[in-house]
A and B are shown apart, each in its own frame.
Chain A
Amino acid sequence: MSKINFLKPDKSNLYTFLYLGSFLFFISVLDVLFNSFFNINLTGFLPNFLSFLLPLILGFIGLYFIRIELSGIKQLDLLNKHINTNNFNAVLSLLIIFIILKSIPPTLSWFFVDASFAGDSKDVCTGSGACWTYIKVWMRRFMYGMYPNGEQWRINLSFIALALLGSVGYFATDRFKKYLTLYYVVIYPFIAFLFIFFFISGGPVFFDFSYGIIAAILSIIIGFFIPGKFRFYYFLIVPLALYVLLKYFIFYEELIELGKLDGLNWVETGAWGGLSLTFIISFFCLIFCFPIGMAFALGRRSGFPLIRYISIGFIEFWRGVPLITVLFMSAVMFPMFLPADFFIDKLVRCIIAISLFEAAYVAEVIRGGLQALPRGQYEAAKSLGMGYWRMHIFVILPQALKLVIPGIANTFLALVKDTPLIFVVGLLEIVGMLNLAKTNPEWLGFAMEGYVFAAIIFWIICYAMSKYSYNLEEKYKTDR
């Protein structure tokens, strides 16, 4: 055995250093472990300051001893490479290990051990942990807002039906694949609209606005069967004509009666709320903001100067203002801009405001994709004799959208995270409901549980969305 120099661990005394170092490291971890789990201070006999730092010092010396390059032991080399490359890294690794060890017991006890689950009143919440009874009691309010308890099956049924209809794409055979875009862009939103219009609301929700939506969607569907030659004139005239027809010749009440199912009461939008409202708003804004954003992205790259300036103005305006002022505008300023007898529900105003706002962001993202395409793609498409629309729909946009999947996913994530802001106009989705429940005199003092609960829900939704976008990106990745 050669001479041991403790300041320079080397390979010749590998096992001495290995045992010594592991032992010291083990002791330091054990000390923290006992301290945090069993509240026993092993080094209590030392002065306070030293007792606090001792695990760090011991662990540091231990890691220093086992930092031997090319030791020949695979595990040790991996360990050194990953957490123990130099002194600084060793200290940071130790600190992180200790922080994790220290934070496990209080977290566990707050979430589970000391928490109360049973019962349905505040009295059971006497422990120091979380009061999940509060969440349990208020669950319906957090999910459905003020929607009447007896009617909530309507929301559940609609959501399940829409989820099933939405998953059609996974089961479609190759023969129907080419219709999927049409289905998802036009038909599916229309079905969703009908569900919410007649089923969840069961009464007049969208008012005058609904004529516009119905007219637009009907005319788009019919438009697919119109020969290309007449399509321009068709889109110039038919939507407007349909709108006028709907507004003045088919009476609203008749339309409602037509679609109204027996025994469904009207639930006005002020009573909607909770997580289901988050979903409804996100869904519609997501559907509306995408085509609007695409139009303005194309407009911004258009060769016509006037269209370009209008698009730039639109995009920069919405990107420059905070969403909360946009919602303020939709709440207090927008009614001033409409005829006195023209009424738009505040939920619809919210959806319009958020859609326009997010459309500007979508437009910028899509523009990035359009700019990233090489000029050759445009030139090749033109040389095949394609016109502007044909070129964009079949050549440019499919490639550009593929490039910007992460950006679009980020924008949609931002949209979902922005929905709580609708508290400005008095609509209460889940965060708003939490704030309402928090001020209930019978349930004071459980703010923490509520926020943790909502945070977990939002985290799951957003994390799932970002992972899904990552999958999409991988799926559509093409080498060029």
Chain B
Amino acid sequence: MNFKLKDIGPQLITVLAVVLVFGFFTYNAQVNMENRGIDFGYGFLSQESSFDVQFSLIEYDGSHSYFRAYLVGLLNTILVSVIGIILATILGVIVGIARLSPNYLINKFAAFYVEFFRNIPLLLQIFFWYFAALRALPLPQDAEPMFGISFLTIKGLFVPAFIWQNFNVFFYSIVAAIIAIIVIRIHAKKKQETLGKQTPVLFISIGLLLILPLLSFLIGGVRLSFEIPVLKQLATTSFIYEGGVSLPPELIALALSLSLYTATFIAECVRAGIQGVGKGQKEAAASIGLTPNQVLKLVIMPQALRIIIPPTTNQYLNLTKNSSLAAAIAYPDLVLVFAGTALMQTGKAIEIVSITMFTYLSLSISISILMNWYNKKIAIQEK
């Protein structure tokens, strides 16, 4: 009996404390809302939002619902995160490898980059790019074309738009290529395990990825043309480019600073991963007659990736969460559109903040579940 009490006591006290705190908050929230005449509910999501958003991926204006505004914000967050992740990965891997270079200058240059960008607050970097660096760009009418087709101006980056005909045929051809590659990979693995013969999977996959879409152009009737942005006069001194795709300066500043900042952390992950593979592994692999390429592909990379991928995913998550700093430079992401404008209009603080937090939470929890599964899968089976 005594033993059981010792077991249950602390748990009971903790749970009681948590319940008390939550109960206190809920009670107060109810009382406060009653006093102020606010009613709790998510019904406002279907009401007309009556505010406009500067930049959205889907069709949106004031006559759409708040839920649509939420989607606009979410898509903008995902857009800037995806751009940032791609750029940060490319830069991070290059810098991480450069940090291991035997070349003194390259090594120090990479180290300088990492130390410099890692130790400055991200918000400051975003402000710097947006308010100081990008403001030095030329006005639309003075902009020099880059490669003759795209324009980098103070009002954003204007690039040609793709105009597809029969896009679905092209899309199906890519899907078919990917399925074919997966099948070939499985087949090649089986073949290697049973017969010990290697198939050049990489070349076959690259070939498939090139040939199938090409075939869709030749046979499937897919056509691609470009719409090049043209200068248009709005008023006597105000110009803008029309046609093509325009990326607002907020997006450029945000993606640039997010990727420059996160790349430093990814570089450190990559460096730690490659350094974490013992020197003996490399020598052992070489001594059984593998070529340098095979050593890299079959021995170093699988082990290094095991160390690199978990912290790198963490950095991707951080980047996605950091993209919420967009609110500081008025890039219409989830926080600005939903937790900013929509909250101001409806006054539904609890509902809107909880939806916003829940969105980020579900995003990162789903990724961390995926990560745990992956970690378990690749973990070394020890006896």
B28 to chain A: which residues have CB within 8 Å? 336-339
A310 with B349, Cβ < 8 A, contacts A92-B105, A328-B335, A455-B124 known: no
Segment among A37-45, A174-182, A247-255, A459-467 that sits at the interface with chain B: A459-467
Which chain B residues border A336 with CB–CB below 8 Å? 28-29, 32-33, 349-350
Kindly list chain B residues whose C-beta atoms are within 8 Å of the C-beta of A454. 124
A337-B29 contact in complex given A83-B103, A321-B321, A447-B131, C-beta closer than 8 Å: yes
Q: A307-B14, A316-B365 are in contact. Are A421 and B356 (CB under 8 A)?
A: no
**B104 contacts across to A, CB distance below 8 A:** 82-83
Q: Does B371 contact A (CB under 8 A)?
A: no
Q: How far is the CA of A416 from the CA of B122 in the complex (A)?
A: 11
Query: How far, in Å, is B322 (CB) from chain A's closest CB?
Result: 7
| Cα distance, A333 to B128, chains bound together (Å) | 31
- Taking the nearest CB of chain B, how far is it from the CB of A315, in angstroms? 11
Interface of B is mostly: helix
A322 to B363, alpha carbons, bound, how many Å? Answer: 11
CA separation between A282 and B335, bound complex, in Å? Answer: 24
| Interchain CA distance A321-B25 in the complex, whole Å | 20
Chain B proximity of A240: nearest CB distance (Å): 12
Interface-lining segment among B160-168, B185-193, B323-331: B323-331
- Chain B nearest CB from A294 CB (Å) reads 16
Interface members, chain B 74-130 (any A CB < 8 Å): 101-106, 109, 115-116, 118-125, 127-128
Of the candidates A324, A338, A451, which one forms a contact with B327 in the assembled complex, judged by CB atoms under 8 Å apart?
A324
> Which of A305, A416, A421 counts the most B-chain CB atoms under 10 A from its CB?
A421
Contact: A458 with B361, CB < 8 Å? no
B339: A residues at CB distance < 8 A: 325, 328
Among residues 327 to 381 in chain B, which have CB atoms less than 8 Å away from a CB atom of chain A? Answer: 327-328, 335, 339, 343, 349-350, 353-354, 356-357, 360-361, 363-365, 368
> Within 8 Å CB of A463, what residues of B?
115, 119
B361 and A320 within 8 A (CB): yes
- Closest CB in chain B relative to A461 CB, distance in Å: 8
Nearest Cβ on chain A to B325's Cβ, whole angstroms: 6
User: Does A113 make an interface contact (CB < 8 A)?
Assistant: no
State whether the Cβ of B197 lies closer than 8 Å to any Cβ in chain A: no
- Shortest CB-to-CB span from A68 to chain B, Å, is 17
A324 partner, pick from B103, B109, B324, beta carbons under 8 A? B324
Nearest CB on A from B361, distance (A): 4
CB of B11 within 8 Å of the partner chain: yes
Taking CB atoms, residues of chain B closer than 8 Å to A306 are 11, 14-15
Interface residue A258 (Cβ < 8 Å from any Cβ of B): no
Assuming the contacts A307-B10, A451-B128, A451-B132, asked whether A92 and B123 have C-beta atoms less than 8 A apart, the reply is: no
Residues A431 and B103 in contact, CB atoms below 8 Å apart: no
Residues of B within 8 A of A322 (CB): 321-322, 324, 335, 360
Contact call B124/A89, Cβ cutoff below 8 A: no
Chain B residues, CB < 8 A from A340:
31-32, 35
| Distance between Cα atoms of A335 and B350 in the complex (Å) | 11
- Are the C-beta atoms of B106 and A92 separated by less than 8 Å? yes
CB-contact partner of B119 in A339, A447, A459, under 8 A: A459
The answer to whether A333 touches B124, judged by C-beta atoms less than 8 angstroms apart, is no
Residues of A within 8 A of B297 (CB): none
Q: Which of B11, B116, B120, B135 has its CB near the most chain A CB atoms (within 10 A)? A: B120
Most buried by A among B7, B124, B343, B357: B124
- CB contacts (< 8 Å) of A325 on chain B: these are 324, 335, 339, 353, 356-357, 360
Chain A residue contacts of B322, Cβ below 8 A: 322
Q: Output the nearest chain B residue to A430 by Cβ-Cβ distance.
A: B124
A345 CB contacts on chain B under 8 angstroms: none
Does B105 lie within 8 Å of A438, measured CB to CB?
Answer: no
Contacts of A338 in B (CB 8 A): 25, 28
CB of A423 within 8 Å of the partner chain: yes
Which of B11, B103, B349 is in CB contact (< 8 Å) with A307? B11
Report the Cα distance A317→B360, complex, angstroms: 10
Q: Let me know if B143 is at the binding interface, CB within 8 A.
A: no
Neighbouring A residues of B327 by C-beta, 8 Å: 324, 424
Shortest distance between the CB of B134 and any CB in chain A (Å): 11
Q: Does B18 contact A (CB under 8 A)?
A: yes
Residues of B that sit less than 8 Å from A by CB: 7, 10-11, 14-15, 18, 24-25, 28-29, 31-33, 35, 101-106, 109, 115-116, 118-125, 127-128, 131-133, 135, 321-322, 324-325, 327-328, 335, 339, 343, 349-350, 353-354, 356-357, 360-361, 363-365, 368
A→B interface (CB under 8 Å)? 81-83, 85, 89, 92-93, 96-97, 304-307, 310, 316-317, 319-325, 328-329, 332-333, 335-340, 413, 416-421, 423-424, 431, 434-435, 438, 447-448, 451-452, 454-455, 458-459, 462-463, 466
- Cβ contacts A to B, 24 pairs, < 8 Å: A82-B102, A92-B106, A96-B109, A306-B11, A307-B14, A320-B365, A324-B324, A325-B357, A325-B360, A335-B32, A337-B25, A337-B29, A337-B32, A339-B31, A340-B32, A421-B123, A431-B124, A448-B132, A451-B127, A454-B124, A455-B120, A458-B119, A459-B119, A459-B120
6 smallest A-B Cβ distances: which pairs?
A462-B119, A322-B321, A82-B104, A320-B361, A337-B25, A417-B121
Instruction: List 18 additional A-B contacts (Cβ < 8 Å) besides A83-B105, A324-B325, A339-B28.
Output: A82-B103, A83-B103, A92-B103, A92-B105, A323-B321, A325-B353, A328-B356, A332-B349, A333-B353, A337-B29, A417-B119, A417-B120, A420-B123, A423-B123, A431-B123, A431-B127, A455-B125, A458-B124
